[in-house]
Amino acid sequence: MTNIVLCGIGGQGTVLASKLLAAAGMQKGYTVQSAETIGMAQRGGSVFSHLRLGGADETVDSPMIALGTADILIGFEPGETVRLLPYLKPDGQVITASRSVMPVTAALTGGSYDGADFIQYLEDNVQNLSVVDTETALAELGNPKVTNVLLLGYAAESGALGLTAKDLKEALKDRLPEKLWEVNFKALDYAKRA
């Protein structure tokens, strides 16, 4: 059983990322269950997705993951990654975007919100951590919207998913129009050259 938690902010493509993993998992013959935030929170709120991939002889009873049992946590925003860190098992893998997104509440009060504090916290508390320099990567890829697929590439590369970038590409072909394949394939492969 592989337990995967994805998190981010509404609009970052958490749901699509979860569906790509699920589709790739099914092609590999896993039994898949997932659950995610849909509805009001999608409007800029914190969103998450739980995804469970069970092997041939494993049954998945519920789509929700218990605290301290996720094999891998993929976060599209450092503060959100920290928010869901309690789901990670002790030696689990974390893949997080470096770029923080300031909440409207902080901008309004003139308050500061610095993603660096959260990156530091993750570095202090997570053994298997991969911080993706999303700003540089997205600039190189020339598309600000592919954070989700970029991080999936790193997750595949870490080996903790049980899925490869090649598996994800196949799933991606079924989910996205052909004109978006190239930039997403590049985003998936970015982890390999990094």
- Give the span between the Cα atoms of 173 and 73, in whole angstroms: 24
Count of positions on this chain that bind other proteins (CB under 8 A): 59
Report the first-to-last Cα separation within the chain, whole angstroms: 29
- Give the span between the Cα atoms of 22 and 53, in whole angstroms: 8
Using the minimum distance from each CB to other proteins, give the nearer residue, 86 or 159. Answer: 86
Q: Tokens at residue 162, please?
A: 């049980």
Contact string 161-190 vs other proteins (x = CB under 8 A): ------------------------------
Kindly state whether residue 20 participates in binding other proteins, applying the rule CB under 8 A: no
When binding is defined by CB under 8 A, the residue of 113, 129, 131, 194 that contacts other proteins is 113
Q: At what angle do helices 165-175 and 14-27 cross, to 10 degrees?
A: 110
Interactions with other proteins, residue window 35-74 (CB under 8 A): 35-46, 60-69
- In whole angstroms, the minimum distance from the beta carbon of 75 to other proteins comes to 12
| Backbone φ, ψ for residue 37 (5° rounding) | -80, 125
DSSP string across 80-105: HHHHTGGGEEEEEEEEEES-----HH
Using the minimum distance from each CB to other proteins, give the nearer residue, 77 or 157. Answer: 77
- Give the span between the Cα atoms of 59 and 90, in whole angstroms: 23
- In whole angstroms, the minimum distance from the beta carbon of 179 to other proteins comes to 12
Tell me which residues touch other proteins (CB under 8 A): 9-11, 19, 22-23, 26, 31-46, 60-69, 79, 82-83, 85-86, 88-90, 101-108, 110, 112-113, 117-118, 121, 124-125, 144-145
